[in-house]
Amino acid sequence: MRLALAALAAALVLPSALLVDRALRGVAAEETARHRAVAERVFDEAERALSELVEREEARPVEAWDAADPAHLAALPDDAFVLGYFQIGSDGRVTTPLPARDAAAVDAATRWLATAPRRDAGDAAREATREPAIAQAPGTTVLMAPPPFPSLVDAEKDQAVAPAAPPAPRSAYDALSSLNRGAEERQQRQRKLVEKEAKAEAPAAGALAAPTDTEESTRPTRIAVDPLVGRFADARHLLLYRSVFAAGGALRQGLVLDADALADHLRERALGESRLTGAALSFASGAGESPPPDEGAHRYRHRFAEPFDAWTASLRLPPLDGGSGAGTIWALAALLALLGGLGLFAVYRMIAVTLAFAERRSNFVAAVTHELKTPLTAIRMYGEMLRDDLVADPAKRRTYYATITAESERLGRLIDNVLEFSRLERGTHEMHLAVGEVGPLVEELAGLLRPHAERAGFALHVEVEPDLPTVRFERDALLQVLWNLVDNAVKYAARASARDIAIECRRAGDGVRLAVRDHGPGVATRQLARIFEPFHRGETELVRTTQGTGLGLALAKSLVERMGGAVAGANAAGGGFEVSIALPRA
């Protein structure tokens, strides 16, 4: 039975452990996806702000950089991150159509750009095949902190080296990433060359040579304008410029941005109105160094789309509320383990008790058979001898008659015990309680029990205290209880040197205490807690040396409790065993 329950427990533990593991992985994946979705929304808002800046600057006409006619640039934008505008002619001359917020920074940035190689028609092809400075596709986000499970780590490694062209969405996160409209639209716009037509009478100042022929000068001139390109002049200053191509030469028009101020603007735009307490957004030029992951935090890095593809942003997100966490899974798993353990223990105890009870019933059947067989054999033997006139001595005949009578009484007591216990188990026993003094009844019953004790060689002593309180009792039930207790004392004290049995009836508080004591060997300590159990015997049926069915003390306990009393058994001081009955005052 134990092996079967152990196998059942193992069969339950394995799928339960797999279920908990799968649930933990699902919770971790859900938490990671939730944080990645939030990070994507933050970066998308930053991309939208940059897209608005690019769209605004690309919409400026070529003529807006004409220093002689600053009608298109009446003033610098309100954005604090715009330090100034510049134009570099084909001859390398730098002009600023408006006073700069930081003239030194604009001068240094334009001198750096003027010395850089000019972009020609083949630059786009070369840049398309050049290895990027950052091993990450523009406009994408990667997780910097490792997720909880190795399988998720592998997924992040695969994403970190993903090609620039993203695959078709396969998951909820891919679908959310595809909604990054700011980077998507700007990437599409950066792949196009915009052609504008300019009237001959309004050429770009100083850079585009006007044709001398009058007929040619009246014909519209086609000017090719490249998309804006972003370059860092130094760690703080970012240049956005475009190349303008015409028949007379090429220009570079652009503006100088303060990267720190622009970062503050994007930070306010992406996180200013959000409730992401504890979130931190930082920016860096180039790949940068990935900071170590914080315990309990999620870090993401985003590479902006062109023309800000040399700029990266790092976002630190604290743990977000929502959804069932791992703590809930562990609590449910612990509850499941507790309930499963209690269930298995309950099944084990139920089966063990059932088997023990069945064993006791089997012992009871063997004991009853033995108890019935002995008196029946004696009755039959003496009856046959008397029937066949084999006993001529009248004294022997009287002895045989007395033996038959005693054995018949013994059979009757045995049958009465079995029937009484059966009625008590079924709840069909009817008590007829009376109120009165129990002392006289004890003395009367002792007179009925004395011959039985004397035949076994015992002296029965009775001591009753006068003026006892009145109690509730039933005469027949009390007789059966005392008979069982005296008979039990006779059986288990048969080898005692002091062959005395004492019955005491004394006042105990408001009630009466009735005790039966022998001077036998007593009861082993380990057996004291079980002596009142039905069918319990201290000896096995194969080696027992005493008579009985194991019902005497159990029946006495049941009858006394039905009368409102209590029974207890203990080894008496000085040797022997004592059973006490406490009857409360009526």
To the question of pTM greater than 0.95 for the whole model, the response is no
Least confident range from 203-217, 419-433, 489-503, 531-545: namely 203-217
CB 538 within 8 A of CB 363: no
Q: Would you place residue 24 in the very low, low, confident or very high pLDDT band (cuts 50, 70, 90)?
A: confident
Q: Which residue has the tokens 């997780």?
A: 143
Distance CA 253, CA 246 (A): 14
At residue 253, the 3 state secondary structure works out as strand
Distance CA 244, CA 223 (A): 7
**Alpha helices (H) along 59-164:** 103-115, 123-129, 150-160
pLDDT given at position 371: 72
Residue percentage of the chain with pLDDT more than 70: 75
List, for residues 244-299, the tens digit of each pLDDT value.
887 767 888 899 999 999 999 998 888 876 667 778 888 988 644 445 555 557 88
Q: Which residue has the tokens 């064993």?
A: 359
At residue 192, the 3 state secondary structure works out as coil
Q: Phi/psi at 517 (nearest 5 deg)?
A: -130, 140
Q: Which residue has the tokens 């639209």?
A: 185
Q: Whose CA is closest to 262, among 228, 289, 285, 286?
A: 285
pLDDT at 392 exceeding the cut of 60: yes
Paired tokens of 349 = 């105890």
Instruction: Find all residues with CB under 8 Å of 54, minimum gap 6, and list them.
Output: 186, 189, 228, 240, 307
CB 93 within 8 A of CB 77: no
Residue 236 burial by CB count (10 A; 0-12/13-18/19+): exposed, middle or buried?
middle
pLDDT given at position 526: 82
Q: Estimate the crossing angle of helix 2-58 against helix 259-271, to 10 degrees.
A: 130
Pairwise pLDDT comparison (157 vs 511), residue with the higher score: 511
pLDDT given at position 135: 60
Pairwise pLDDT comparison (177 vs 186), residue with the higher score: 186
Q: Find which of 203-217, 219-233, 377-391 is predicted with most confidence, using mean pLDDT.
A: 377-391
* Single-letter amino acid code for the residue at 287: A
Distance CA 564, CA 453 (A): 28
Work out the number of other CB atoms within 10 angstroms of the CB of residue 203.
21
The neighbouring-strand residues paired with 198 are 221
pLDDT given at position 74: 63
Mean pLDDT over all residues of the chain?
77
Q: Would you place residue 12 in the very low, low, confident or very high pLDDT band (cuts 50, 70, 90)?
A: confident
Q: Which residue has the tokens 């406490």?
A: 582
User: How far does CA 491 lie from the centroid of its chain?
Assistant: 59
Residue percentage of the chain with pLDDT more than 90: 9
Q: Domains for the chain: give ranges and CATH numbers.
A: 23-120+131-317 (no CATH), 325-428 (1.10.287.130), 430-586 (3.30.565.10)
* Single-letter amino acid code for the residue at 308: F
Distance CA 311, CA 283 (A): 7
Pairwise pLDDT comparison (141 vs 72), residue with the higher score: 141
Distance CA 78, CA 83 (A): 10
List, for residues 484-521, the tens digit of each pLDDT value.
898 888 888 888 888 899 999 999 888 999 999 998 88
Distance CA 349, CA 344 (A): 9
List, for residues 30-88, the tens digit of each pLDDT value.
888 888 888 888 899 899 999 999 998 888 888 877 765 555 566 677 888 999 888 88
Q: Would you place residue 233 in the very low, low, confident or very high pLDDT band (cuts 50, 70, 90)?
A: confident
Paired tokens of 359 = 């064993």
* Single-letter amino acid code for the residue at 238: L
Work out the number of other CB atoms within 10 angstroms of the CB of residue 466.
7
User: Regarding beta strands 500-508 and 459-464, do their DSSP bridges make them parallel or antiparallel, or are they unpaired?
Assistant: parallel
pLDDT at 327 exceeding the cut of 50: yes
pLDDT given at position 493: 86
CB 142 within 8 A of CB 156: yes
